[in-house]
A and B are shown apart, each in its own frame.
Chain A
Amino acid sequence: MQDPGPAPHVMRNADIDPKAEKRAEQQVAILFGLSGVSSLLLIYSYVFIASDVFVFIPVMGSQNVQQLGLGLGMSFSLLFLGLGAIHWAKKLMPETEVINHRHEFRSSDEDRDELVKTVKHAAAEVKLGRRSLIKRSLGFSLGLFALPPVLLLRDLGPLPKKQLETTNWKAGTRLVTDPGNRPILASDLEVGAVVQTLPEMPDETERLLSDIAKDPVLLIRIRAEEFQLSPEKLAMTHDGIIAFSKICSHMGCAVALYEQTTKHLLCPCHQSTFDVTRGAKVIFGPAARPLPQLDITVDEEGYLIARAPFNESVGPSYWERNSQ
């Protein structure tokens, strides 16, 4: 099909009618003016409006007046400035289209040959091909040269050692409430109770965030006959009280939601769901392992304690984890 060439050019009003041109000019000026006024609103809000005044605006709710004044002032000063510039360009600036020509990007054959020749010439002069001793030693030095930058990053952090395998739970550690830090009498827990606990520490201020990232344990009491556990796991409970790591075995979020009726624990991050009666077996979602169970009993005063540390790593999986 033949190219008919561009459609005929249509003149704008402002191109032919001086009155329309004048009008367009005024419109642009008004837009720029409004932008200036909006900036004044911003300055006024900054200087004269106190930061604790609120108004109620339908749909938006209660709004901070200073905040709103600053924001609206700023946005309108920007918007009107932009609209003014575009209106100016559309109505008054030349709008005829211009044609540029393109050239192919490939260089001319002469240039390419020339370049190849130059490079070859330089290579020949250096005689890299024949100086294998230099070539090898250079390779050796460059190779070693690349190592230090990686090596120098080594001190970014400590080696993992046994940190992911261990928690602060030891045989005999008391479970204390979090928050509150009080030891828990087994007899105080009623059926249906859920308590978040941490291992008791001699000095509470010693507790680091990295401890809270692996130590939290959920205590749940149900009726003992509802458990469907293997004998070993049943032996780790105490009188209907069962204790699980609160750190999700999927990616480590806090497994925070407990549904009384179904006795399910739910992790809000990716909805992995664990059945408490069956030892926190995964019944839904991406988690691949049950929540680790803590072996608990009571001490002579009746307070809940750990009988042994966790017998597996808590939290998300990692390469060195022995999950068998």
Chain B
Amino acid sequence: MTTAEKRLGNAANFVDERIGAAGWVKKSLNKVFPDHWSFMLGEVCMYSFVILLLSGTFLTLWFDPSQRDVIYEGVYEPLKGIKMSAAYASTLDISFEVRGGLLMRQIHHWAANIFMAAIVAHLLRVFFTGAFRKPREFNWILGILLLTLGFVEGLFGYSLPDDLLSGTGLRITSAIIQAIPLVGTYISFFLFGGAFPGVGFLPRIFTLHVLLIPGAFLAVITIHVMLVWYQKHTQFPGPGRTEKNVVGHPILPVYMAKAGGFFFIVFGVIAFLSAVASINPIWLYGPYTPGQISAGSQPDWYMGWLDGLVRMAPPWETHAFGHTVSWNILIPALIVPGILFTGMAFYPFIESWITGDKREHHLLDRPRNVPNRTALGVMSITFVIVALINGGNDILATNFHLSINQIMWFSRIGIFVLPPLAFVITKRLCLSLQRADRDLVLHGLETGRLVRMPSGEFVEIHEPISPQKRFVLTSHEQAPALELSATDARGVKRPGAIKNKVRARLSKAHAVGLPKVTSEDLKEIEHH
């Protein structure tokens, strides 16, 4: 035994005699992780969160979250002698007088954008592959919680520098709060510490941004990842893979090395972006004052779709009994996102109600094999994209010589027409992909080689695919739709007949698919 080994052994012994961890650690290190590029999206979320914690902590060392007035005396000439908040002045100092400060600010901001993008990508992969099904519904809901926290955390972070752009964002936030019937005005006055912009909002959201919300993130991410650990990761269908096993690389050493290396690559890419691509140059916007605004103001991308919905809302307000209800704010900023997020959170249960499937699932779906779910996903993406386009309508108008009017009407109509259209097209596309799979299994791969038959005609040679591939393409199950008759055996209407009818309809739509190839089909072909 070398001395190093001996030392390590002693240390391990010291710990184990006190908490008896060896058994548990041994078991954990034997865990395997299936390999697939899309399983790294969750990791990107986690790594960018760590990067946010590191860069954010660096910024807190110099940032002063105060709304107190100061006269700027720093090195940035154009703003010298101007009255501004201490928050804005200290952000200028971090950018110009702390070496590496600007780099850290840009790393923090890029990491936030990439964090949100990774969460969305991870969510889509979980959705389209059906990884949210039993027993993983908890993790799905925790994921939606993380996404929601991300929006709030991002909005607050973006508002801290107190520049003209972020102040405008807060003005809009306060208007949204004020629009809440009954209590909105009070909540707004309490949060801001008075009439907008108040005296207390920045220090308050600072505490939320650097302490409370990251703490909540940390707690939820820990549960999220521990559940993945405990329930074991899902895997794509393939030879040797079943609902009863998980095939992959063990934690030590391969997975550890790859995951560790991947952390540095994510960090490196974010640092590279921050080195070469400027993001949020607050010194160009100037300090916030409510009487001014910069044209073309844009929120971060993950807020853009909400802004787009607000922009396309019709000018509806109700005035009655001395009160005002602003539908033009409530619908796009609170009601629609509320419905969307609630629906998303409950989706696993909705789907299992539709299919009547209450079993555990550890093998992932190929999206084409569940056309209805895939189409629903693409439909939702289309909705968000139309909203996002409208959120950038002023930018699009100037860059592509369109009128804002045209883009607005395109969006107002498109938000109703395009998502259903996307649903129909996606569903068809899934079915034709299923047909392609079927052809591949039945007739093999087209080789492009032509041979001349004795009869004189040319035929293309088809090469059969490997048994492994054939298994991948045919191992999914095709559950039939639920049979729910509205009447019982004696022809009497059952209670809940309408509900059953709706459920049967949905179930039928969900079960649409081409019959997959069976081994009998193949035998038949071989006989010919």
Contact = CB atoms under 8 A, between A and B. Distances in A.
A323 B324 contact: yes
Contacts of B474: 1
Interface of A: 1-7, 46, 51, 60, 64, 66-68, 70-72, 74-86, 88-90, 93-95, 97-102, 104-105, 153-154, 156-160, 163-164, 178, 196, 198, 209-210, 212-214, 216, 246-247, 250-254, 256-257, 268-272, 282, 284-289, 315-324
A153 B190 contact: yes
A256 B293 contact: yes
Contacts of A2: 471, 519
Contact of A6 (B197, B239, B408): B239
Given A196-B291, A210-B198, A81 B264 contact: yes
Nearest to A38: B268
Contact of A84 (B197, B261, B292, B466): B261
A78 B99 contact: no
Looking at B191, B231, B275, B297, the one whose CB has the most chain A CB atoms below 10 A away is B275
Contacts of A164: 185, 195
Interface stretch (B57-65, B118-126, B173-181, B375-383): B173-181
Contact of B239 (A3, A74, A198, A322): A3
Interface in B83-100: 96-97, 99-100
B262 interface: yes
A95 B328 CA distance: 58
Interface residues of B, number: 115
B18 to A, nearest CB: 29
Contact of A317 (B248, B326, B393): B326
- From B289, B292, B295, B394, residue with most partner A Cβ within 10 Å: B292
A254 B189 contact: no
A237 B328 CA distance: 30
Contact of A76 (B32, B268, B316): B268
Nearest to A84: B261
Contacts of B182: 319
Interface in B250-295: 250, 253-254, 257-258, 260-272, 274-276, 289-295
B168 A324 contact: no
Contacts of B314: 286
Contacts of B265: 78-79, 82-83, 86
B172 interface: yes
B313 interface: yes
Interface in B392-416: 393-394, 404-405, 408
A62 to B, nearest CB: 11
8 contacts: A7-B468, A46-B100, A78-B267, A82-B262, A157-B198, A252-B196, A252-B290, A319-B325
B360 interface: yes
Interface in B227-261: 231-232, 238-240, 242-250, 253-254, 257-258, 260-261
Nearest to B296: A268
Contacts of A104: 360
A318 B184 contact: yes
B29 to A, nearest CB: 11
A2 B265 CA distance: 41
B178 A316 contact: yes
A154 B189 CA distance: 10
A246 B290 CA distance: 10
Contacts of B268: 75-82
Contacts of B427: none
Contacts of A154: 190
Nearest to A66: B99
A98 B468 contact: no
A318 B179 contact: yes
Contact of A86 (B103, B197, B258, B393): B258
B172 A74 contact: no
A251 B360 contact: no
Given A95-B254, A251-B172, A256-B293, A4 B468 contact: yes
A162 B319 CA distance: 19
Contact of A323 (B192, B247, B249, B317): B317
Q: Which of A88, A94, A269, A324 has the most CB of B within 10 A?
A: A269
A251 B330 CA distance: 12
A269 B68 CA distance: 27
Contact of B295 (A74, A76, A178, A257): A257
B321 to A, nearest CB: 9
Nearest to A257: B295
Contact of B184 (A89, A97, A257, A319): A319
Contacts of B257: 85-86, 88-89, 93
B448 interface: no
B310 interface: yes
B501 interface: no
